[in-house]
Amino acid sequence: MSNDTNIFGCFVSYPSVMYDATDEQKKIAKNQGDLFRIYIWGDQGICDSLKELKKENYGNDLELALFQFYVNPIEYELNNLKEIESYRKKEKSIGIPIIIDDENFFSKTEQERYNFLKQSILQKMEVLLEVVKKKKLDTKMDLLKSDLRKVLEELR
């Protein structure tokens, strides 16, 4: 585990393309990945806002909840993504996949994109709550969800 004090982190998986993709398809995929990264790490990016939430405020059993954004995953990836990954006791971490595609993100306005991201993150907190209960983790989920909601409301 890193010395990072943030309870949340972000990871972006660029769009996968099939081996026989045209140069145009590859270019579109790269451009969509680049665009999405702005919503996570740009000036108004969600990841910076999430850094306000420090792990020591929420208990000792969860040190990192990693939002894993999969941009236009191919069918193979889709078939292998879980709603939420298994809790890694040794690392005190959990991965939280969120699928980003044309329908839920790229076809939307900027405000709708931020709304989708905020809504998706909050919905995943309900799934995380079930893991915390099942594993009997000491994570203060009510406080974490409340603080997360406040941070997300401040975004655009």
Summarised one tens digit per residue, pLDDT across range 101-129 is: 999 999 999 999 999 999 999 999 999 99
More confident: 44 or 150: 150
User: Rounded CA gap, 132 and 89, in Å?
Assistant: 12
User: Rounded CA gap, 132 and 19, in Å?
Assistant: 40
pTM, rounded to two decimals: 0.92
- Please, which residues have CB within 8 angstroms of residue 147's CB and are 6 or more apart in sequence? 52, 53, 57
Mean pLDDT of all residues in 32-51: 94
Q: Which long-range contacts (CB under 8 A, 24 or more apart) does 89-93 make?
A: 91/1, 91/63, 91/64, 92/1, 92/60, 92/61, 92/62, 92/63, 92/64, 93/1, 93/62, 93/63, 93/64, 93/65, 93/66
- Please report the pLDDT score of residue 1 as a whole number: 40
Residue 71 scores a pLDDT above 70? yes
Residue with token string 């990264």 = 37
Mean pLDDT of all residues in 129-155: 95
User: Rounded CA gap, 63 and 54, in Å?
Assistant: 9
Question: Within a 10 A sphere around the Cβ of 112, how many other Cβ atoms?
Answer: 12
- Please report the pLDDT score of residue 68 as a whole number: 97
Residue 3 scores a pLDDT above 70? no
**DSSP bridge pairs for 14:** none
User: Any idea where the domains of the chain sit in the sequence?
Assistant: 8-153
Copy the structure tokens of residue 152: 């997300």
C-alpha 92 chain-centroid distance: 17
- Please report the pLDDT score of residue 18 as a whole number: 83
Mean pLDDT of all residues in 61-75: 95
8-22, 30-44, 47-61, 118-132: least confidently modelled range: 8-22
- Please report the pLDDT score of residue 2 as a whole number: 45
What is the per-residue DSSP string for 54-82?
BGGGS-SS--EEEEEEEES--HHHHHH--
Residue range 19-31, pLDDT digits in tens: 899 999 999 999 9
User: Rounded CA gap, 45 and 42, in Å?
Assistant: 5
